[in-house]
Amino acid sequence: MMRTRPLKVALLGCGVVGSEVARIMTTHADDLAARIGAPVELAGVAVRRPSKVREGIDPALITTDATALVKRGDIDVVIEVIGGIEPSRTLITTAFEHGASVVSANKALLAEDGAALHAAAEQHGRDLYYEAAVAGAIPLVRPLRESLAGDKVNRVLGIVNGTTNFILDKMDTSGAGYSEALDEATALGYAEADPTADVEGFDAAAKAAILAGIAFHTRVRIGDVHREGITEVTAADIASARRMGCTVKLLAICERAADGQSVTARVHPAMIPLSHPLASVREAYNAVFVEAEAAGQLMFYGPGAGGSPTASAVLGDLVAVCRNKLNEATGPGESAYTRLPVSPMGDVVTRYHISLDVADKPGVLAQVATVFAEQGVSIDTVRQQGKDGEASLVVVTHRASDAALSATVEALRKLDTVRGVASIMRVEGE
């Protein structure tokens, strides 16, 4: 039997995502009520600019006092889509203190201070759900947190930023340089006016921290995630990848060590074989590849950003949290029982693609090969092209640690015959 008294929802933020959440709550009110077992009522919307016209939202619900809204005491669920660290952190903890559960899309805050937020939710017996914080509409957090709770996840490998995937895809398919591809992404609305968070990997690193924490039942903060962006990726890198039967993607990679005693989390551009499922993820789409002990290999694919996809994830969490509220229960909280350390990037082992500018004369290849051997880095393949006294030498290694590769590069720079290191890129997915 459906409860007639509505569950009251406060919405913090009414931008692209927030306005879509409000619209769906209104247009799908009957369906949401049927799925939850009680009607949901939008009880207030906190914004910074109250004068802005917001179609479909009763102006009487608009307020600039977000703190007063979450302190009301009759609010059942707070939806936070403001973003950033403050005032979001304070508003969320205040909501818990005054009896509300929280649905958030705030990846930056969760990656920075997720443990404290989970602790506050547990202290007050409330829910903290955040499916929308990672990969938009793609169901990923809940499968990792619930569906795979009885399994052992060993690796999460994914494309979790649509802007960078669009840029790299355009560089691959059209031969455009980075700047041209970024301009196109900006013109189409895939990149912000300031794209730093995307192209420098900050957005993906926050998502990697969240995914690693859930997958490995340990605490991983954004500061634990090794981060590299795509600004240094060139058309020549893309062409080299093609010659190897690969493409370049910005990957978030979270791995459990082979001995199970530590984890790593990193974000960086990498070459992946065209045969890998992630290689076919085009334009602004996201996809995450999960490797679990019993379930095997799973892939989650779909739109990773945008108002409607993100709102879909928010509303899914809203339904779950409201159901818990009616049943006087809470869903799964933080699981960090393993307390595994996060290994530094120097310990990460993978393959590398190194492009060197060298003198075009006899003995250069032997000198370079000797440096690799001295550092214990095994060479898989070498390709050399030369003209007019200058040459390029492309070396692909077998698996080696990042520390060993760094030492190799430093030694190569000291050779008189090496003019420079044109690029270094990891090779993943094999």
**DSSP H or E run through 357:** strand 349-359
- Alpha-carbon distance of 240 to 235, in angstroms, equals 9
Sequence-distant (≥ 6) Cβ neighbours of residue 338 within 8 angstroms = 216, 217, 218
Q: Cα 209 vs. chain centroid, distance in angstroms?
A: 8
What residues are labeled active site?
207
Structure tokens at 396: 């692909």
Half-sphere exposure of 98 (CA within 13 A, CB side): 19
Half-sphere exposure of 134 (CA within 13 A, CB side): 30
Half-sphere exposure of 124 (CA within 13 A, CB side): 19
Strand spans (E) along 55-183: 62-63, 77-80, 101-104, 128-129, 153-159
Sequence-distant (≥ 6) Cβ neighbours of residue 288 within 8 angstroms = 135, 138, 140, 156, 157, 158, 159, 160, 211, 252, 299, 300
Quote the DSSP letter at residue 314.
H
**DSSP H or E run through 148:** none
Residue 261: helix, strand or coil by DSSP?
Answer: coil
- Alpha-carbon distance of 254 to 208, in angstroms, equals 7
Neighbours of 31 (CB within 10 A): 11
Phi, psi of 126 (to 5 degrees): -120, 165
Residue 250: helix, strand or coil by DSSP?
Answer: strand
- Alpha-carbon distance of 61 to 51, in angstroms, equals 13
Q: Cα 138 vs. chain centroid, distance in angstroms?
A: 12
For residues 239-262, one letter each, b for 16 or more C-beta atoms within 10 angstroms of the residue's C-beta and e for the rest, the string is ebbeebebbbbbbbbbbbbeeeeb
Strand partners, 256: 263
Structure tokens at 174: 């059209």
